[in-house]
C-alpha cells in the first residue's frame, strides 16, 4: 500500500519532485567535482614532493651554507692555454659541492642513533661545470685602404697603415650537470630511492669505490650514452652500468656515483651534504625532528610537511581555490538546495491539506502521514543523488580527459635547501630560486566521495521530508471538511 501510494503521488507531482531532485543534484555534483579536483591537487602535490623529496624519506638533515668571507672567490675559474696549437681542443671541469655546507660523514651514524629514527643515509651532491672548446689564431693584414702592390707594377701603391689582426677568437661550450654520491650499501633511502633502473643494473656493495656510474634517463638520452660506454669527469673515466628512470616527475640529478667516488671528485673526503632520514613511525616525525635539532646543533631538519609549504605556482593557487573557495561554494549550494527542497516539500504539503485531512478521517495516523511525506522526499533525494553522481562523474572525467598542466615551484626552504637529487633537499636546485615541475592534473573519484554523495542525497531527502512531515502532522480531519466545496 505504501509503495503504491508513493509511486502514484510522485507521478502526480512530477514537477515538484523534479525541482527538488535537480536542486540536490546540482549541489551533489558540485561536491563530487570539487572533492575530486581537490584529491587530484593533493595527488599532484604528493607527486612533486615524492620526486623532489625522496621515496620513503621522512626528513633530511642539512646545514646552511655560511656566508662567504671577504677573500672568498665569487665563482668557478677556468684557465686555458692561449698559446696552444691552432684549433686544439681544450677542456676543463669544475666540480663544486651543492646544497648546504658539507657535514661530517660521522653525523650520519649519530643521526641514525636518535630516538625514533629507523634509518639514516648520507649523500653528497655535486655540480660539475664543463667548459670545452678551442682558440683560433687570427691573421695579420695591412691596415691601409689599399693593400700592398695594388694597381700592379708602377702604380705606386704602398701600404701606409699599421697591420691589423683579423679573424681568430675563441669558441667554448659550457655544460653544467648534477652528480649525486650514493651510499651503495643502502640504496633504499637516498637519491636513487625514487628511481627505477630500467636498463643495466644498479650499484653493488662491492662497488663502494668503483669508477662506475648510473645515469638518469633524460641525461643519457641527451648525451647519447648507453650502458657499457664510458665518459670522463675531471679526467677520471667512469663506466655506465645503468640507466635510472624517475618513478614520478623528472629528477634533478643527472649522474649517480658511489659516495666515495663523489667525495674524491668534490675534494670532500668523509663529507656529505644531505642526510636522508626515515622515522620508525610516521606519527613521530615532529618528535624526531625536534630530537635531531636539539642533539645535533647547527643542522637544519626539513620534513615533507616543511617542503610542502614551499610549493607555489599554479598548482598551489589552484589547490587553494579548490580547498577554500570550492568547498565553501559547495557548502553554500548544498545548504541552498536543502532549504529549497524543504520549502518546496512544505509548500506541497500545504496544497494537499484536503488529501491528508481526508486520509486522517479514514484512519491514517499522523505518523503514517509523516512517513508518507518523508518517503516521497527521500525518493526525490535519491533521484537527485543519482543525477548528481552522474553529473559529478562527468565533470571529474572531463577534468581528467583535459588534464590541464599545472606548474609547481619548490622554493628554497630554511637554510637554503631546494629540491634535491632524486628527491631531497640540498641538490643542485639549492643554488637556484626555485625548482619548477609541470604536473598534469587529474580528478580521481574515490568510493568515499560516492558514499558521501549518497549520504548527502539521503540527508537532503530527510531534511525536505522533515519540513513536510512536520507540516503534515499538524493537519486535522476538520481541515479537509472546511475546504470541501
Which whole-number Å values give the CA distances from 462 to 53, 305, 310, 456, in the listed order?
47, 41, 44, 10
Name the residue with cell 649519530: 110
Confidence bin at 318 (pLDDT 50/70/90): low
Per-residue pLDDT at 183 exceeds 90:
yes
C-alpha cell at 229: 660506454
pLDDT in tens, 385-408: 888 889 989 988 888 888 777 666
Mean pLDDT of 103-112: 91
Q: What is the pLDDT of residue 212?
A: 95
CB atoms within 10 A of CB 6: 16
Per-residue pLDDT at 444 exceeds 90:
no
Q: What is the pLDDT of residue 256?
A: 95
pLDDT in tens, 136-180: 666 666 655 444 444 444 445 455 556 666 665 666 677 889 999
Could you tell me if 268 and 93 are in contact, meaning their C-beta atoms sit under 8 angstroms apart? no
Per-residue pLDDT at 100 exceeds 60:
yes
Its sign, for the CA torsion 372, 374, 377, 379, is negative
As a whole-number percent, the residues of the chain with pLDDT over 70 amount to 64
* Three-point CA angle 475, 477, 478, nearest 5°: 100
Which of 224-233, 272-281, 332-341, 417-426 is least confident?
Answer: 417-426
Query: How far is Cα 269 from Cα 259, in angstroms, rounded to an integer?
Result: 10
Q: What is the pLDDT of residue 414?
A: 36
Q: Please, what is the end-to-end C-alpha distance for the chain in angstroms?
A: 28
Q: Which of 28, 7, 16 is nearest to 391 (CA)?
A: 28
Which whole-number Å values give the CA distances from 333 to 26, 336, 337, in the listed order?
8, 5, 6
| Better-scored residue on pLDDT, 82 or 464 | 464
DSSP 202: -
Query: How far is Cα 122 from Cα 272, in angstroms, rounded to an integer?
Result: 6
Q: What is the pLDDT of residue 427?
A: 38
Per-residue pLDDT at 439 exceeds 50:
yes
C-alpha cell at 366: 499522523
Three-state DSSP at 196 gives: strand
Per-residue pLDDT at 294 exceeds 60:
yes
Which whole-number Å values give the CA distances from 42 to 47, 150, 290, 451, in the listed order?
8, 79, 26, 20
pLDDT in tens, 233-251: 888 999 999 999 887 555 6
| Better-scored residue on pLDDT, 312 or 217 | 217
Query: How far is Cα 420 from Cα 198, in angstroms, rounded to an integer?
Result: 21
Q: What is the pLDDT of residue 211?
A: 94
pLDDT in tens, 28-50: 888 888 888 877 777 776 666 65
Confidence bin at 264 (pLDDT 50/70/90): very high
Confidence bin at 428 (pLDDT 50/70/90): very low
Which whole-number Å values give the CA distances from 422 to 15, 33, 49, 208, 217, in the listed order?
59, 33, 10, 20, 12
Query: How far is Cα 21 from Cα 230, in angstroms, rounded to an integer?
Result: 69
Per-residue pLDDT at 259 exceeds 60:
yes
Q: What is the pLDDT of residue 262?
A: 93
Query: How far is Cα 65 from Cα 100, in angstroms, rounded to an integer?
Result: 5
Its sign, for the CA torsion 237, 243, 244, 250, is positive
What are phi and psi for residue 259, nearest 5 degrees? Answer: -55, -40
Q: What is the pLDDT of residue 417?
A: 37
Per-residue pLDDT at 92 exceeds 60:
yes
Q: Which of 367, 374, 378, 359 is nearest to 467 (CA)?
A: 374
DSSP 85: P
The domain ranges of the chain are: 2-52+314-404+441-482, 88-131+171-298
- Model pTM above 0.75: no
Q: Identify the burial level of 405 via C-beta atoms within 10 angstroms of its C-beta, where 0-12 means exposed, 13-18 middle and 19 or more buried.
A: exposed
Q: What is the pLDDT of residue 147?
A: 44
Could you tell me if 356 and 349 are in contact, meaning their C-beta atoms sit under 8 angstroms apart? yes
Amino acid at each position: 500500500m505504501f509503495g503504491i501510494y508513493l509511486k502514484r503521488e510522485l507521478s502526480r507531482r512530477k514537477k515538484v519532485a523534479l525541482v527538488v531532485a535537480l536542486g540536490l543534484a546540482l549541489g551533489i555534483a558540485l561536491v563530487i567535482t570539487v572533492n575530486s579536483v581537490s584529491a587530484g591537487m593533493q595527488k599532484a602535490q604528493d607527486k612533486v614532493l615524492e620526486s623532489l623529496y625522496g621515496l620513503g624519506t621522512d626528513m633530511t638533515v642539512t646545514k646552511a651554507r655560511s656566508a662567504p668571507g671577504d677573500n672568498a672567490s665569487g665563482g668557478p675559474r677556468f684557465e686555458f692555454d692561449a698559446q696552444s696549437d691552432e684549433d686544439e681542443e681544450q677542456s676543463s671541469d669544475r666540480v663544486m659541492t651543492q646544497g648546504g655546507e658539507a657535514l661530517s660523514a660521522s653525523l650520519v651514524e649519530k643521526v641514525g642513533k636518535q630516538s625514533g629514527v629507523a634509518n639514516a643515509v648520507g649523500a653528497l651532491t655535486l655540480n660539475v661545470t664543463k667548459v670545452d672548446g678551442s682558440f683560433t689564431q687570427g691573421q695579420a693584414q695591412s691596415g691601409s685602404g689599399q693593400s700592398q702592390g695594388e694597381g700592379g707594377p708602377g702604380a705606386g701603391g704602398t701600404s701606409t697603415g699599421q697591420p691589423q689582426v683579423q679573424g681568430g677568437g675563441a669558441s667554448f661550450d659550457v655544460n653544467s650537470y648534477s652528480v649525486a654520491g650514493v651510499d651503495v650499501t643502502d640504496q633504499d633511502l637516498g637519491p636513487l630511492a625514487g628511481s627505477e633502473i630500467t636498463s643495466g643494473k644498479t650499484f653493488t656493495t662491492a662497488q663502494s669505490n668503483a669508477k662506475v656510474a648510473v645515469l638518469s634517463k633524460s641525461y643519457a638520452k641527451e648525451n647519447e650514452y648507453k650502458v657499457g660506454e664510458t665518459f670522463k669527469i675531471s679526467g677520471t673515466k667512469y663506466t655506465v652500468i645503468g640507466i635510472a628512470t624517475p618513478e614520478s616527475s623528472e629528477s634533478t640529478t643527472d649522474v649517480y656515483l658511489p659516495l666515495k667516488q663523489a667525495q674524491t671528485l668534490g675534494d670532500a673526503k668523509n663529507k656529505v651534504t644531505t642526510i636522508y632520514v626515515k622515522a620508525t613511525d610516521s606519527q613521530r616525525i615532529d618528535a624526531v625532528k625536534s630530537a635531531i635539532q636539539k642533539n645535533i646543533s647547527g643542522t637544519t631538519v626539513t620534513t615533507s610537511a616543511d617542503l610542502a609549504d614551499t610549493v607555489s605556482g599554479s598548482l598551489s593557487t589552484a589547490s587553494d581555490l579548490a580547498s577554500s573557495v570550492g568547498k565553501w561554494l559547495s557548502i553554500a549550494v548544498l545548504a541552498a538546495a536543502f532549504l529549497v527542497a524543504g520549502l518546496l516539500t512544505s509548500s506541497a504539503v500545504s496544497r494537499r491539506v484536503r488529501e491528508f485531512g481526508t486520509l486522517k478521517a479514514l484512519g491514517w495516523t499522523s505518523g503514517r502521514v509523516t512517513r508518507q511525506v518523508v518517503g516521497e522526499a527521500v525518493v526525490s533525494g535519491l533521484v537527485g543523488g543519482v543525477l548528481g553522481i552522474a553529473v559529478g562523474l562527468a565533470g571529474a572525467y572531463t577534468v581528467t580527459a583535459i588534464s590541464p598542466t599545472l606548474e609547481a615551484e619548490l622554493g628554497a626552504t630554511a637554510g637554503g635547501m631546494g629540491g634535491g637529487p632524486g628527491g631531497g633537499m640540498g641538490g643542485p636546485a639549492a643554488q637556484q630560486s626555485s625548482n619548477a615541475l609541470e604536473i598534469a592534473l587529474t580528478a580521481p573519484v574515490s568510493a568515499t566521495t560516492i558514499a558521501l554523495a549518497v549520504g548527502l542525497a539521503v540527508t537532503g531527502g530527510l531534511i525536505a521530508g522533515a519540513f513536510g512531515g512536520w507540516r503534515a502532522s499538524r493537519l486535522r480531519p476538520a481541515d479537509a471538511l472546511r475546504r470541501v466545496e
